[in-house]
Amino acid sequence: MFTNDSADVRRMLKLLQDRIQRILGDNLVGLYVTGSLVTGDFDEDVSDLDLLAVTATSLDQPALDALAAMHRALSVEEKRWDNRIEVAYLTTEALRTFKTRTSLIAITSPGEPFHTKPAGRDWLINWWVVREHGATLVGPSPRSLIDPISRAEVVRAVVESADWWRGRIPSIRQRNAQVYAVLTMCRALRTFRIGDYVSKRKAALWAEAEVPEWAPVIRRALESWRADWYRDDVDHEATLAEAVGFVSFVVEQIAAR
């Protein structure tokens, strides 16, 4: 079921499940593990735990407040997993209609506190991963909640994401975010050329061979992935130009086809 089945991973998943169920009760339709823990290359020391909680109805303010408090408490209690837990909360109706309209999603993720925001087609890849690879902790198969998503839709979403990154990357000054962009673009390029969707690490190793002129940039990104988040001596400006260059290169490669 999981690409890493350690006792601590299992403990954290059970802890999250118990606390989410305690707050949501009968409103919880399903709880699913997604991300690298099910797609591959999960690193217990740096990777995030990614989950989707599906609810029958929209969360009211007391439920939102309780979830926010729960996630804040977890970050204090579980120092090893602080800033490494992402849980998205979405209704069954929102999952059924995300291709045609936006709905409110509640989410906590690395670098961001618990909050709500609109979510629609821009989450297509996330829901495709849940549908095709998600592991069920509570509820029915995710395929019963998420309609089929074609490979063409996934590729189109990756192309759109790459173009979005080109507009954003020049303003990103933090090294860790630059690294994230580089690895995301490796996956975008692979998805566009091959049509699959693999882990960032696997995509980066593929891209090193596919575009060797960018191999040093990709290798540096792999070596500093997540590590620079916690360092105080990183020269963030020193790597901005190469990150901007690689993102632009990938977007141009996609546009040329």
CATH of 7-144, picked from 3.30.2320.80, 3.30.460.10, 3.40.50.150, 3.40.1440.60, is 3.30.460.10
Domain boundaries along the sequence of the chain: 7-144, 151-256
Whole-number Å distance between alpha carbons of 71 and 82? 10
The phi-psi region of residue 139 (left if phi > 0; otherwise alpha if psi is between -120 and 50; otherwise beta) is left
Q: What is the pLDDT along the chain (257 residues), one digit of tens a residue?
A: 776 778 999 999 999 999 999 999 999 999 999 999 998 888 888 889 999 999 999 999 999 999 999 999 999 999 999 989 999 999 999 999 999 999 999 999 987 899 999 999 999 999 999 999 999 999 999 999 999 999 889 988 988 888 888 888 888 878 888 998 999 999 999 999 998 888 889 999 999 999 999 999 999 998 887 665 556 677 778 888 999 999 999 999 988 76
pTM: 0.88
CA angle centred on 33, ends 26 and 205, rounded to 5°: 165
- Joined tokens for residue 36: 């690298």
pLDDT at position 49 is 96
pLDDT at position 232 is 62
Pairing of the two strands 28-34 and 135-138: antiparallel
Q: What is the pLDDT of residues 230-242, one digit of tens each?
A: 566 777 788 889 9
pLDDT at position 110 is 84
pLDDT at position 228 is 59
Nearest to 132 by CA among 52, 58, 47: 52
pLDDT at position 231 is 64
pLDDT at position 229 is 56
Q: What is the pLDDT of residues 44-69, one digit of tens each?
A: 888 899 999 999 999 999 999 999 99
pLDDT at position 53 is 98
Whole-number Å distance between alpha carbons of 207 and 170? 22
Helical spans, DSSP H, in 25-112: 36-39, 61-77, 92-97
